[in-house]
Structure 1
């Protein structure tokens, strides 16, 4: 059914076309290469923002905002604030879909990235607890929630369009392209923090050095905004989305009609999303508190791991096109399950063990995360795929990754690293169960 824009009495299609004419040359075609570049730029900027915050939760916020707590408790408090963005993200998706239906895709994306940029750069001016007391903590809470709302609104449909435009035998390869933004974003964030942390004294870093990455994040967002707007306001892009019915629907309507696919999709990616923060944010916190290994050393190893993860993501695309995306995701869940038994031993065996944990964890992350986004979202009917892919990703982040650093550090500190292995194993089992349920439902519906 064609929706109406109540403000001017036009159909949604007329409104999208008029919006296109206002912003772009209608004769300009969008090539698959341009879509791929737009996907990578957009995802890299988003991940860069989040990794800057995640690293700051370990290196900055415990001392800056929670000096009255122990190092462990201060880090746990920072990780609790870290999780707020993932809680707000599905809300941001629901609100943004309503904005897009009324005012168009370009307006939604502009508002979302503007909010993300403003919240991120505002963190640059965050006062310390010594200067502002609990007001500083509440300011960070508000800004972090704003980041989450913005992330929910930043969905542009480019990954879905890219995957649906791919040849049948190249779906795995095209699905992994958007995932490359994760290691790229992490490498940039970790390298910037490593440079500042090594170049400044401890007092200089805590006074002003840590603020620079948040300024850089704002600049990256501006570049990403213009790169993505160039695509999403073009007529060719709009027509491609309309041809494949990649248009927003209300979240309530999606959950009412295809909520089953949202739930299965979120749990199918759980192993990958749980591992995501257990090799990026958690090791830095654990090793800095319970090992003699330096922060710079950990960051350098993580950068190497992230580069290898990028290669592994590309390998996952090649592998998925030969054995199937679901089979690839299931096999990686099994490997992550095996890794969960080794993780406690590795993290408890000194610098060499720590480094092996990080490197192997990043490689497994790349192999699994490369196919985590499109494996089950293809179940959605075309009418619901645009909103379904966005909400499924939100729920996967919420269930699998939002509380991972908080839970992993908390249970490991209290019960030992064996608890970390159990936590990671539970994610792998959930993925296997969800994939099994999905396969059984597909067989029943045939």
Structure 2
């Protein structure tokens, strides 16, 4: 679909991927799932490397003049910038997709993501360049956000096309496995350097290595994704418009209401996402004497429970329905918000309990959060509308979660963080109810 002569192209990479496909034969749903996991793991690894550094590095490196709490809040404000930039990245790369093809789009997006991430590893501190350090941090974070918008590949839709009819929930959770895997790798890397290096050496050079690892992982993920993009299954889905990148304006005009509902449906999952990853690390780092490396290992243990909970969500969704599972887990998250503050403030045993319970609830809800409302979109708009829904869900549910939770908890105590989590659960329940009512109206109109 490369229309313009001399236009940027990923054709050599696509040809290499095609040769592998020709040699190995048709790629089945299992192989597609592996490619999806590799791709999403690379994205979430980049995400968590930055998230951890936003707590243990950037407040001291970029905002040393602001003090520990305000410096962390400023770091979280920059963290949110990527989520604001992400919808713009989606619009830009959908235009590239329509003009030059999905292979070109993914190549540019993933190289931009890897380049932005690895450049963060060379970031100078405030002591070296003053406020230019913050300006560079913001610019690179925008680059990450734009790239993440472009990295949307429709793989969840492709898995739905390839999956057996009665195992759609199982295959829907596959892309979400990248989150706990990416967190485990990022946490292990930072925990290693924090525990093995002096504080001075870690702040001087140790924190930079996880960012350098990201670029190599992204290259592997790029080839894994390109291999899928050129499969007959993917091309057939594209030709039937299942994965057709409709113009953003058209998708918003025709699917705007469902996009908004879809953005709020997984709000409990995405709020919980940060309440068991970024926020508790910041709270422990700022308000306890506990070593961050130790808490990162607790996060790694929690992520293992989260991974198995995501797997369980696939079976439960196929048995009881995806929306029912999201509703039940949203209610569970609401209940968890009532005693979560006491657990997180309850010492090592309380922290471990908080993380394990939190990750189990997160896994069950996050496992089915992707595309919960996608079936409401028309086929011609599903690819673009799903991408925009994902962008807005991350923006509303996750982008400002660490900033809001830490600001509220720092001012009013941990109970305010629990209230923030409760608000996300309420929004999810309302969105699911509204989606069900709209579905009833559509069914009545067709009758």
Structure 1 residue 236: deviation in Å? 4.3
Contact 1:16-1:238 within 8 A present in 2 as well: no
| Superposition map of 1:3-14 within 5 A | 7=4
Alpha-carbon separation, structure 1, partners of 2:249 and 2:241? 21
Alpha-carbon separation, structure 2, partners of 1:400 and 1:17? 37
Structure 1 residue 231 corresponds to structure 2 residue 225: no
- The structure 2 residue matched to 1:170, chosen from 164, 167, 170, is 167
SS at match of 1:292: coil
- Give the match for residue 11 of structure 1: none
- Give the match for residue 63 of structure 1: 60
What 5-or-longer segments of structure 2 have no aligned partner?
A: none
Structure 1 residue 293: deviation in Å? 2.4
Count of aligned pairs? 437
What 5-or-longer segments of structure 1 have no aligned partner?
A: 9-14
Residues 45-69 of structure 1: CA deviation (Å, up to 9, x unaligned): 0000010000001110111111111
SS at match of 1:24: helix
Alpha-carbon separation, structure 2, partners of 1:118 and 1:39? 21
- Give the match for residue 255 of structure 1: 252
Please report the TM-score for the alignment, with normalisation by the length of structure 2: 0.94
Structure 1 residue 18: deviation in Å? 12
Please report the TM-score for the alignment, with normalisation by the length of structure 1: 0.94
Residues 135-167 of structure 1: CA deviation (Å, up to 9, x unaligned): 111001000000000000011111111023222
Structure 1 residue 326 corresponds to structure 2 residue 323: yes
Alpha-carbon separation, structure 1, partners of 2:389 and 2:291? 38
- The structure 2 residue matched to 1:132, chosen from 129, 134, 143, is 129
- The structure 1 residue matched to 2:383, chosen from 354, 364, 386, is 386
Alpha-carbon separation, structure 1, partners of 2:201 and 2:419? 39
- Give the match for residue 200 of structure 1: 197
Residues 327-356 of structure 1: CA deviation (Å, up to 9, x unaligned): 000000000000010112212222222221
- The structure 2 residue matched to 1:352, chosen from 343, 349, 360, is 349
Structure 1 residue 245: deviation in Å? 2.7
Structure 1 residue 383: deviation in Å? 1.1
| Superposition map of 1:305-344 within 5 A | 305-344=302-341
- Give the match for residue 152 of structure 1: 149
Structure 1 residue 269 corresponds to structure 2 residue 263: no
Structure 1 residue 24: deviation in Å? 2.3
Residues 171-192 of structure 1: CA deviation (Å, up to 9, x unaligned): 1101000000000000000000
SS at match of 1:125: coil
- Give the match for residue 24 of structure 1: 18
Structure 1 residue 90 corresponds to structure 2 residue 87: yes
Contact 2:161-2:237 within 8 A present in 1 as well: no
Contact 2:28-2:162 within 8 A present in 1 as well: no
- Give the match for residue 112 of structure 2: 115
SS at match of 1:136: helix
What's the RMSD between the two structures over aligned residues?
1.9
